[in-house]
Amino acid sequence: MVVQHWLVGLGCWQDPYRSMVKAAQVCRREAGRVMASLVEGNLEAVLTAVVGCMQSGCRLNTRKQFPSTAQ
């Protein structure tokens, strides 16, 4: 949970149009890859890829009837 919190903060905290829920799902999906990178020694590259995935795909869904706070 601490690693997920850190990655979500790093990946999408500064942009109000990013979904924290979707970013947390990315962290959970890529957890095995992060753990394997600890053994392989390429943790920095894997974390950069995970954060990049968050920044490119974790957008808020737009709503007309009940817009989000960022809208």
The answer to whether residue 69 is domain-embedded is no
Half-sphere exposure of 19 (CA within 13 A, CB side): 15
pLDDT at 33 over 90: yes
The answer to whether residue 22 is domain-embedded is yes
The answer to whether residue 6 is domain-embedded is yes
Q: What is the pTM assigned to this prediction?
A: 0.80
pLDDT in tens, 52-71: 888 888 888 888 888 877 77
The answer to whether residue 65 is domain-embedded is no
The answer to whether residue 52 is domain-embedded is yes
Token pair recorded at residue 3? 């690693």
Number of domains present in the structure of the chain:
1
The answer to whether residue 64 is domain-embedded is no
Distance CA 70, CA 2 (A): 26
The answer to whether residue 68 is domain-embedded is no
Q: Which domain holds residue 36?
A: 2-57
Token pair recorded at residue 64? 């007309």
